Amino acid sequence: MPSLEDASRDQACCVVRDNLVVIGGEMKQAVLGGPTLQAVLGSVKMPAKGEVAFTGQPPLTCGGVAGAVAFVVNESGSTTGQVLLLGGYGTDCETASTVYLVDLATGVCAPQPNLLSERSQFTAALLPDGRIVCAGGDGYDVVLSSVEVCEPPALGAVDAAWTRRELPAMSIARIACRGCVLSDGRFAVLGGDDRIGGECLSSCEALVVYHDDQWEALPSMHMARSNSACAAVAKCVLVASGYGGCDYRHF
CATH classification at residue 216: 2.120.10.80
Of 112, 145, 167, the one marking the end of a domain is 112
Same domain? For 208 and 121 the reply is yes
DSSP letter assigned to residue 35: -
Structural domain count, the chain:
2
Of 82, 79, 13, the C-alpha closest to 47 is 13
Query: Which structural domain, as residue segments, surrounds residue 243?
Result: 116-251
CA–CA distance, 84 with 231 (Å, rounded to integer): 20
Domain check: are 90 and 124 in the same one?
A: no
User: 38: which strand partners?
Assistant: 28
Q: Which of 225, 175, 211, 178 is nearest to 196 (CA)?
A: 175
Q: Are residues 103 and 218 in the same domain?
A: no
Same domain? For 154 and 44 the reply is no
SS3 call for 172: coil
**SS3 (DSSP) at 248:** helix
Per-chain mean pLDDT for the chain: 87
Nearest CA-CA partner of 241 in 60, 251, 35, 233: 251
CA neighbours within 13 Å on the CB side: how many for 21?
30
69 and 190 in a single domain? The answer is no
> Using CA atoms, how far apart are residues 53 and 4, in angstroms rounded to an integer?
8
Indicate whether 96 and 3 sit together in one domain: yes
- What pLDDT, in 10s, does the model give residues 201-222? 999 999 987 667 789 999 999 9
Indicate whether 65 and 123 sit together in one domain.
no
Contact between 131 and 71 under an 8 Å Cβ cutoff? The reply is: no
* Amino acid at residue number 142: V
Terminal-residue alpha carbon distance, the chain: 24
Can you list the residues of the chain whose pLDDT is less than 70?
A: 29-37, 48-50, 155-160, 197, 210-211, 245-251
What pLDDT is stored for residue 247 in this prediction? 46
Both 73 and 165 in one domain: the answer is no
Where does a domain end: 112, 142, 171? Answer: 112
Instruction: State whether 91 and 120 are in the same domain.
Output: no
> By the 8 A CB rule, do 115 and 88 touch?
no
Q: What is the CA radius of gyration of the chain?
A: 18
- Looking at 112, 145, 180, the residue that finishes a domain is 112
State whether 91 and 184 are in the same domain. no
Q: Are residues 140 and 90 in the same domain?
A: no
CA-nearest of 113, 61, 63 to 86 is: 113
Is residue 88 within 8 Å of residue 12, measured between CB atoms? yes
Question: Measuring CA to CA, which residue among 216, 209, 232, 16 is closest to residue 131?
Answer: 209
On whether both 96 and 207 belong to a single domain, the answer is: no
